[in-house]
Amino acid sequence: MNEFVKKLISIPKKDIEEISKAVSLAKSEEAKARDFYQSNSEKTLDIEMKKALAFLAKEETEHFNALTGVESALKENWKFAVIKDSVLQHLERPVIYPEKGSKANMEGNSELAVLLWAMRAETKAKNFYLAQAEKTRIKEVKHFWETLAEFEAEHFNYLDSLFSTWTNTSDYIMG
Protein backbone atom coordinates (compact mmCIF):
# COMPACT_ATOMS: atom_id res chain seq x y z
CA MET A 1 0.00 0.00 0.00
CA ASN A 2 1.35 3.45 -0.83
CA GLU A 3 1.39 6.49 1.48
CA PHE A 4 -1.89 7.83 0.05
CA VAL A 5 -3.96 4.77 0.90
CA LYS A 6 -5.82 4.48 4.20
CA LYS A 7 -7.16 0.98 3.54
CA LEU A 8 -8.29 -1.39 0.81
CA ILE A 9 -11.91 -2.53 0.64
CA SER A 10 -13.52 -5.30 -1.32
CA ILE A 11 -16.05 -4.20 -3.90
CA PRO A 12 -18.33 -6.21 -6.15
CA LYS A 13 -16.47 -7.36 -9.27
CA LYS A 14 -19.27 -5.96 -11.44
CA ASP A 15 -18.38 -2.44 -10.20
CA ILE A 16 -14.64 -2.70 -10.81
CA GLU A 17 -14.77 -2.13 -14.57
CA GLU A 18 -16.99 0.95 -14.33
CA ILE A 19 -14.93 2.45 -11.50
CA SER A 20 -11.70 1.67 -13.40
CA LYS A 21 -12.96 3.49 -16.49
CA ALA A 22 -13.96 6.52 -14.42
CA VAL A 23 -10.59 6.55 -12.63
CA SER A 24 -8.75 6.33 -15.96
CA LEU A 25 -10.75 9.23 -17.38
CA ALA A 26 -10.25 11.24 -14.19
CA LYS A 27 -6.48 10.66 -14.32
CA SER A 28 -6.41 11.88 -17.90
CA GLU A 29 -8.32 15.06 -17.02
CA GLU A 30 -6.22 15.75 -13.92
CA ALA A 31 -3.07 15.37 -16.04
CA LYS A 32 -4.44 17.79 -18.65
CA ALA A 33 -5.33 20.32 -15.95
CA ARG A 34 -1.91 19.90 -14.28
CA ASP A 35 -0.11 20.40 -17.58
CA PHE A 36 -2.27 23.42 -18.45
CA TYR A 37 -1.62 25.09 -15.08
CA GLN A 38 2.10 24.28 -15.16
CA SER A 39 2.56 25.50 -18.71
CA ASN A 40 0.72 28.75 -18.08
CA SER A 41 2.53 29.24 -14.78
CA GLU A 42 5.77 29.16 -16.73
CA LYS A 43 4.46 31.52 -19.45
CA THR A 44 2.88 34.26 -17.38
CA LEU A 45 4.91 37.26 -16.30
CA ASP A 46 2.46 38.12 -13.55
CA ILE A 47 3.97 36.99 -10.21
CA GLU A 48 0.63 36.42 -8.45
CA MET A 49 -0.79 34.45 -11.36
CA LYS A 50 2.43 32.40 -11.55
CA LYS A 51 2.04 31.41 -7.86
CA ALA A 52 -1.67 30.63 -8.24
CA LEU A 53 -1.18 28.45 -11.30
CA ALA A 54 1.81 26.63 -9.79
CA PHE A 55 -0.29 25.92 -6.70
CA LEU A 56 -3.12 24.49 -8.82
CA ALA A 57 -0.65 22.38 -10.84
CA LYS A 58 0.69 20.91 -7.60
CA GLU A 59 -2.82 20.09 -6.38
CA GLU A 60 -3.76 18.45 -9.67
CA THR A 61 -0.59 16.35 -9.34
CA GLU A 62 -1.77 15.23 -5.90
CA HIS A 63 -5.15 14.24 -7.38
CA PHE A 64 -3.42 12.35 -10.19
CA ASN A 65 -1.26 10.48 -7.67
CA ALA A 66 -4.26 9.57 -5.52
CA LEU A 67 -6.13 8.30 -8.56
CA THR A 68 -3.05 6.27 -9.53
CA GLY A 69 -3.19 4.60 -6.11
CA VAL A 70 -6.85 3.76 -6.64
CA GLU A 71 -6.13 2.46 -10.14
CA SER A 72 -3.27 0.27 -8.94
CA ALA A 73 -5.36 -1.30 -6.18
CA LEU A 74 -8.16 -2.03 -8.64
CA LYS A 75 -5.78 -3.68 -11.12
CA GLU A 76 -3.54 -5.52 -8.68
CA ASN A 77 -5.89 -6.46 -5.83
CA TRP A 78 -9.39 -6.08 -7.28
CA LYS A 79 -10.07 -3.76 -4.34
CA PHE A 80 -10.81 -0.08 -3.92
CA ALA A 81 -8.08 1.97 -2.26
CA VAL A 82 -9.62 4.36 0.25
CA ILE A 83 -7.46 7.47 0.00
CA LYS A 84 -6.66 9.52 3.09
CA ASP A 85 -8.68 12.75 3.01
CA SER A 86 -5.57 14.69 4.01
CA VAL A 87 -3.93 13.66 0.73
CA LEU A 88 -6.60 15.42 -1.28
CA GLN A 89 -6.87 18.56 0.84
CA HIS A 90 -3.63 19.41 2.54
CA LEU A 91 -1.84 22.00 0.45
CA GLU A 92 -1.80 25.57 1.70
CA ARG A 93 -3.32 27.97 -0.80
CA PRO A 94 -1.13 30.98 -1.56
CA VAL A 95 -2.63 34.36 -0.81
CA ILE A 96 -2.82 36.27 -4.05
CA TYR A 97 -3.74 39.91 -4.57
CA PRO A 98 -3.46 40.65 -8.27
CA GLU A 99 -3.57 44.38 -8.88
CA LYS A 100 -4.87 44.44 -12.42
CA GLY A 101 -6.99 47.57 -12.33
CA SER A 102 -10.41 47.93 -13.87
CA LYS A 103 -12.58 46.23 -16.46
CA ALA A 104 -10.95 48.39 -19.11
CA ASN A 105 -7.73 46.41 -18.66
CA MET A 106 -9.43 43.08 -19.40
CA GLU A 107 -9.23 43.27 -23.20
CA GLY A 108 -6.40 41.19 -24.64
CA ASN A 109 -5.40 39.80 -21.26
CA SER A 110 -4.15 36.24 -21.76
CA GLU A 111 -4.05 35.62 -17.99
CA LEU A 112 -7.77 36.36 -17.88
CA ALA A 113 -8.36 33.73 -20.57
CA VAL A 114 -6.39 31.26 -18.45
CA LEU A 115 -8.53 32.08 -15.42
CA LEU A 116 -11.74 31.57 -17.36
CA TRP A 117 -10.55 28.26 -18.80
CA ALA A 118 -9.47 27.12 -15.34
CA MET A 119 -12.85 28.02 -13.80
CA ARG A 120 -14.64 26.06 -16.49
CA ALA A 121 -12.32 23.06 -16.11
CA GLU A 122 -12.78 22.98 -12.34
CA THR A 123 -16.57 23.07 -12.73
CA LYS A 124 -16.49 20.24 -15.26
CA ALA A 125 -14.24 18.16 -12.99
CA LYS A 126 -16.55 18.74 -10.01
CA ASN A 127 -19.57 17.69 -12.05
CA PHE A 128 -17.77 14.57 -13.31
CA TYR A 129 -16.87 13.51 -9.77
CA LEU A 130 -20.40 14.14 -8.50
CA ALA A 131 -21.80 12.04 -11.34
CA GLN A 132 -19.45 9.21 -10.39
CA ALA A 133 -20.55 9.48 -6.75
CA GLU A 134 -24.18 9.17 -7.83
CA LYS A 135 -23.44 5.99 -9.78
CA THR A 136 -22.09 3.98 -6.87
CA ARG A 137 -23.70 2.27 -3.90
CA ILE A 138 -20.37 1.72 -2.17
CA LYS A 139 -19.96 4.17 0.70
CA GLU A 140 -16.17 4.51 0.46
CA VAL A 141 -16.19 4.95 -3.31
CA LYS A 142 -18.95 7.56 -3.02
CA HIS A 143 -16.94 9.41 -0.34
CA PHE A 144 -13.83 9.39 -2.56
CA TRP A 145 -15.67 10.95 -5.52
CA GLU A 146 -17.50 13.46 -3.30
CA THR A 147 -14.23 14.52 -1.66
CA LEU A 148 -12.67 15.16 -5.06
CA ALA A 149 -15.78 17.13 -6.10
CA GLU A 150 -15.53 19.30 -2.98
CA PHE A 151 -11.90 19.98 -3.72
CA GLU A 152 -12.64 21.01 -7.31
CA ALA A 153 -15.39 23.32 -5.99
CA GLU A 154 -12.80 24.92 -3.71
CA HIS A 155 -10.51 25.39 -6.72
CA PHE A 156 -13.37 27.15 -8.53
CA ASN A 157 -14.03 29.43 -5.54
CA TYR A 158 -10.34 30.28 -5.33
CA LEU A 159 -10.21 31.11 -9.03
CA ASP A 160 -13.45 33.09 -8.77
CA SER A 161 -11.95 35.23 -5.99
CA LEU A 162 -8.90 35.84 -8.18
CA PHE A 163 -11.16 36.79 -11.07
CA SER A 164 -13.09 39.26 -8.90
CA THR A 165 -9.92 40.86 -7.59
CA TRP A 166 -8.24 40.84 -10.99
CA THR A 167 -11.09 42.55 -12.80
CA ASN A 168 -11.91 44.85 -9.89
CA THR A 169 -15.61 44.43 -10.63
CA SER A 170 -16.67 44.81 -6.99
CA ASP A 171 -19.34 42.25 -7.78
CA TYR A 172 -21.59 41.63 -4.83
CA ILE A 173 -24.12 39.58 -6.73
CA MET A 174 -26.11 37.48 -4.25
CA GLY A 175 -23.63 38.00 -1.46
The domain limits of the chain are: 5-82+105-167
Strand partners, 83: 5
Confidence check: pLDDT of 143 > 80: yes
Residue 175 reports pLDDT greater than 50: no
pLDDT of the residue at 108: 52
101 phi, psi to nearest 5 deg: 90, -140
Average pLDDT, the chain: 83
pLDDT of the residue at 81: 86
pLDDT tens across 29-78, in order? 999 999 989 998 998 888 888 888 999 999 899 889 989 999 999 998 89
For residues 51 and 87, the model is more confident at: 51
Q: According to the model, what pLDDT value does residue 105 have?
A: 44
- Rounded Cα distance between 52 and 136, Å, is 34
Taking alpha carbons only, the member of 3, 17, 128 closest to residue 69 is: 3
Find the radius of gyration of the CA atoms of the chain: 18
Task: Assess whether pLDDT exceeds 70 at residue 173.
Answer: no
5-82+105-167 fold: Ferritin (1.20.1260)
DSSP reduced 3-state for 45: coil
Quick one: pLDDT at residue 168?
A: 63
The yes-or-no verdict on residue 92 having pLDDT over 90 is no
How many CA atoms, within 13 angstroms, populate the side-chain half-sphere of residue 68?
Answer: 13
pLDDT at 106: 40
Percent of the chain with pLDDT over 70: 81
Mean pLDDT of the region 125-142: 94
Confidence check: pLDDT of 100 > 70: no
